[in-house]
Structure 1
Amino acid sequence: MTARPSRRVLIVAVEFPPVKGIGRLRPLKFCQHLQALGWETAVLTLTEGDMQPVDRTTLDEIPDGTRVFRVPLPRPRERLVLAVKRLLGRGRPVDAEATGAVPGNESVPGPVTHAASASGLISSVKRGVAWMDRFIHRHVQIPDDLVLWWPPAVRQGVRIVDEFRPDVILATAPHFTSLIVGAHLSRRTGVPWVADYRDLWTGDVLRAWVPAWRQRLELALERRVVSTAGAVVTVSGPKTEVMRGRLPRLPDEALVTITNGYDPEEFEGVEPEGQTPGVLRIVYAGRLFKNRRGYELLEAAGGLLWERPDLAGRFRFEYYGGRAPEIVARMDELVTRHGLEPVFRFFPDVPYRRSKALQKGADVLLLIVDGGETTSGVIPGKLFEYIAAGRPILCVAEEGATPEIIRRGRLGWVERPGDVAGIQARLARILDAEDGVFDPDQDYVRGFERRHLVTRLARVLEQVAAGGPR
């Protein structure tokens, strides 16, 4: 029997190993499972170190046979810092935290007298750089802070297309600069492309800070860029409907929902970590920032211990990952007010392998869904990681796609944001073992295995490749 000729796909993804964030998993798993379906894969991404946080052990996750092309991100800001250092001569360099200078590259401090004479200039430069950063972030870096990657990525991408000869280009976002790169590569080379949305470009809950004038500008840019795609894929039904209204000229069949998913084998052989007899451990694995906060959990725990001191020492919340400074301040205030020092423990970010061990060793996994205008369509990638870990989930979220999956899959419990009394009562029932046995609907949950989801993606890529560019 003659072997089926392979197809080739070039994936544009700025979040890719060694980047540690969960956004890396979608393009990474596309590569893995598309190869099993007879596709050759290549990835166009950033140079190592151009995005943080980094976990170099994730490089081992890249499937054999996946070609990775890395293009550096231009950094004019660093050139400005170097120019300031030259201006100051042998004086002390501008503070690395204020300027973004790379530790280890500082000049040797000069005499104290010279440093003192330059201190006023240094302070002025710090203020100027900080103001410039804020201005550029808000008014210039459109659609995001990787916009300067677009021209070199397209230039090198054209050469990669000539070499790799893909049948289709898949650009996944965020960052939304990836979609611009995908569209321009398609126009320059004639290779059709597919836009893949993990988050919405405009109107997303994590981009609520974008001012109204810029939202209008980016919406126009989005329509112009994405309307050239052969298909648009999103991670949830509500997001697909948003895009359907945003891109009315695309046919219905060109808008497809393919959620994130999980691989059952990822947690096979992982030894649980942190199990503590007599203590119910509620583990959160991820970052807290912007609209992902969960203050009501601290207030609920404080109220529960006030009413039932007998529960002291019987439960503990553990957070593994970063917290935005304003969230740290508010949480510290709540911890102090309610005397929750033994109950809430905060740890730095941990390597992915250890994160899986901590998840598997948890009694309950905590999921906090970002709040905002489009929260109904948010399905955190962390949800599927939790499903693979096989532990019950306590979810704090408004009604939408994520609560629907948790309820239909019998994966745990859902409480509304801000409902301190409801969360307090839920914690009490969990501790008193009154909420039943964790009993997932395996037939439903298996539908989120990545091998099934990427099979659907392969069909989309086949159709777009066969139809040519729009």
Structure 2
Amino acid sequence: MNSISLMAETPLYGETAEGSGQPVIPFSPVRKVLFIAYHFPPSGGGGVQRSLKFVKYLPECGYDPVVLTAKPNNERRWTPTDQALLDEVPKSVRVTSVSLPDEVHVPGKLERAARELLGMRSRFGLTWMNEVIEAGTELVEKEQPELIFVTLSPFEGADAAAEISRRTGIPWVADLRDPWALDEFQLHRSRWHRGLEKMQMEASLSTAAMIIMNTPESARRLAEAFPRLKKNNIVSLTNGYDASDFSGEVEPINGADKFAIVHSGYFHAESGLTERDRQFQYKLLGRTIPGVERLPRSHFYLLRALEEWLKEDPSIVNEVRVHCVGVLSQSDTALIERSSAKLLFDCSGYLSHAECLRYVRGADLLFLPMHKMPSGMKAGIVPGKAYEYMAAGRPILATVPDSDARDFVLNAGTGVVCDPGDVPGMLAALKEQHLKWKNGRAKPRSNEDFVRQFERKNLTLKLAGLLDQVR
């Protein structure tokens, strides 16, 4: 079967039975599913939202998820704690957590380098895989689910699910939150290592009954790269937003009298600066795909645009604020501190998802940066924040390459798009949106019908329809 893109084939939750006012949900008998997810509350961050929202709404769609996850470890940049997210997990859902020794998360530099050079899996990945196999097999015997659903990464979860399936005879479904070896943003030690990871990816996914990618482009790329996997039923099911997170009045951001530019989540300045400084090495070894530049997926070029704006109009220091909501690296912070635009920045650090959305909903302009791509090649990823940005209905300054992300924000009607790293384009967009804000015309007309297809209930209903195909 060829890859397909699931965008709006299934009736949306917003469609109602005549006269009932209630969403139309196709009836299906309750099916139990073993739901394997390393990233799950109380962990926070972008990687948690997809799993959390599926588990939140699957019971309404005829599925009973039995969750297998990891106990929270010490807080790290990519796995902050957000206890409030636990409240969204239905009380009926059973959650089993396995413990991973803290040392597997932070291996020694020598061990890490040796494993990467030899193309070996990390000790963390292997530990997670083995824990999942044992705990998952026990859960299958106890709970008797009809299928196994594993969300990746860690990508070793694919082999764990495959082994549980082999032991129990239950089919398994792979859900890739990132394109794995086909992710153009991912760094590798060399061309050989990238090729090795592609081989591992194909082998690990070979027994999956279905492979779900989170963008149409990544699904197309997977089918093209691994023709033998087409028989596994390759589909795309995007990330999204939860309408319940957008209920209630929009609260003003601190300093509401100022033009508020908001970025939520992570920047990637550190990897981008390293890539720029080691261009010859990266090119020689084939560490990156030629033409891909990571630095634009940060605030590096936004800072340049703001610096130019300040030169032209110093008074904006009293009118403009850039709110960075998320954990910043030392490189991220250093770029701001060295910039003449640093007085414009307000960096909050990590905030709960609810508080983050307060900033997103109250923004006058949302910043969505992505990496640069070579000519003729679409990006395979869409940052998770893009869907919540669209749901907010606020203007989006999207510095994005040819990609599903570009198509989505333009179709949403709120995107102001320029190429990654285009400083003059960013400066023009900033000045234009600022002028609209001063004139009281900041809110664009959103294409709500288009955006609604990304609502989490609608996406979970589509997921249930996909899982119904797995027997």
Cα deviation, 1:237-277, whole Å, max 9, x if unaligned, reads: 11001110233123468111111111212121365242534
TM-score by length of 1: 0.81
C-alpha RMSD of the superposition:
2.5
Tell whether the 8 Å contact from 2:310 to 2:341 is kept in structure 1 after alignment. Answer: no
Q: How does 1:172-321 map to 2 (within 5 A)?
A: 172-251=151-230, 254-269=233-248, 272-289=251-268, 290=271, 291=294, 292-321=297-326
1:55 aligns with 2:56: no
Cα deviation, 1:367-404, whole Å, max 9, x if unaligned, reads: 12244577622111111122333322211211211010
Paired with 2:83 and 2:401, the residues of 1 have a C-alpha distance of 35
Paired with 1:444 and 1:228, the residues of 2 have a C-alpha distance of 35
Cα deviation, 1:42-86, whole Å, max 9, x if unaligned, reads: 1111112267312222211212211111111245669xxxxxxxx
TM-score by length of 2: 0.81
Name structure 2 gaps, 5 residues minimum. Answer: 1-26, 272-293
Paired with 1:59 and 1:270, the residues of 2 have a C-alpha distance of 23
Name structure 1 gaps, 5 residues minimum. Answer: 79-98, 101-128, 466-470
Tell whether the 8 Å contact from 2:393 to 2:443 is kept in structure 1 after alignment. Answer: no
Quote how far apart the aligned CAs of 1:137 are: 5.6
Identity %: 30
Cα deviation, 1:82-118, whole Å, max 9, x if unaligned, reads: xxxxxxxxxxxxxxxxx88xxxxxxxxxxxxxxxxxx
1:14 aligns with 2:38: yes
Change (3 A) 1:236 1:271: same
Quote how far apart the aligned CAs of 1:304 are: 1.3
Tell whether the 8 Å contact from 2:153 to 2:178 is kept in structure 1 after alignment. Answer: yes
Quote how far apart the aligned CAs of 1:17 are: 0.5
Structure 1 match to 2:353: 352
Quote how far apart the aligned CAs of 1:295 are: 0.8
Q: How does 1:20-169 map to 2 (within 5 A)?
A: 20-49=44-73, 52-75=79-102, 129-136=108-115, 139=118, 142=121, 145-169=124-148
Tell whether the 8 Å contact from 1:321 to 1:347 is kept in structure 2 after alignment. Answer: yes
Structure 1 match to 2:404: 401
Q: How does 1:359-438 map to 2 (within 5 A)?
A: 359-371=360-372, 376-433=379-436, 437-438=443-444
Tell whether the 8 Å contact from 2:394 to 2:443 is kept in structure 1 after alignment. Answer: no
Give 1:178's aligned amino acid: G
Q: Would you say how many aligned residue pairs link Structure 1 and Structure 2?
A: 411
Change (3 A) 1:382 1:371: same
Quote how far apart the aligned CAs of 1:430 are: 0.9
Structure 1 match to 2:286: none
Rg comparison, structure with higher value: 1
Tell whether the 8 Å contact from 1:167 to 1:191 is kept in structure 2 after alignment. Answer: yes
Quote how far apart the aligned CAs of 1:144 are: 8.0
Tell whether the 8 Å contact from 1:409 to 1:440 is kept in structure 2 after alignment. Answer: yes
Tell whether the 8 Å contact from 1:412 to 1:438 is kept in structure 2 after alignment. Answer: no
Tell whether the 8 Å contact from 2:172 to 2:209 is kept in structure 1 after alignment. Answer: yes
Change (3 A) 1:234 1:130: closer
SS of alignment partner, residue 378 of structure 1? coil
Change (3 A) 1:19 1:156: same
Change (3 A) 1:77 1:452: closer
Give 2:83's aligned amino acid: R
More contact order relative to length (CA 8 Å, sep ≥ 6): 2
Tell whether the 8 Å contact from 2:302 to 2:423 is kept in structure 1 after alignment. Answer: yes
Give 1:259's aligned amino acid: T
Tell whether the 8 Å contact from 1:144 to 1:176 is kept in structure 2 after alignment. Answer: no
Paired with 1:439 and 1:199, the residues of 2 have a C-alpha distance of 31
Give 1:358's aligned amino acid: Y
Quote how far apart the aligned CAs of 1:10 are: 1.1
Paired with 2:103 and 2:443, the residues of 1 have a C-alpha distance of 56
Paired with 2:189 and 2:315, the residues of 1 have a C-alpha distance of 47
Paired with 2:346 and 2:378, the residues of 1 have a C-alpha distance of 27
Quote how far apart the aligned CAs of 1:5 are: 3.1
Paired with 1:275 and 1:50, the residues of 2 have a C-alpha distance of 31
Structure 2 match to 1:342: 343
Quote how far apart the aligned CAs of 1:344 are: 2.0
Quote how far apart the aligned CAs of 1:331 are: 3.6
SS of alignment partner, residue 302 of structure 1? helix
Paired with 1:347 and 1:140, the residues of 2 have a C-alpha distance of 38
Tell me which moved more, 253-262 or 265-274.
Answer: 265-274
Paired with 2:35 and 2:247, the residues of 1 have a C-alpha distance of 28
Paired with 1:363 and 1:298, the residues of 2 have a C-alpha distance of 18
Quote how far apart the aligned CAs of 1:412 are: 2.5
Paired with 1:242 and 1:256, the residues of 2 have a C-alpha distance of 11
Give 1:348's aligned amino acid: G
Paired with 1:382 and 1:138, the residues of 2 have a C-alpha distance of 33
Change (3 A) 1:462 1:174: same
Give 2:445's aligned amino acid: D
SS of alignment partner, residue 259 of structure 1? coil
2:332 to 317, 323, 327: 327
Tell whether the 8 Å contact from 2:35 to 2:65 is kept in structure 1 after alignment. Answer: yes
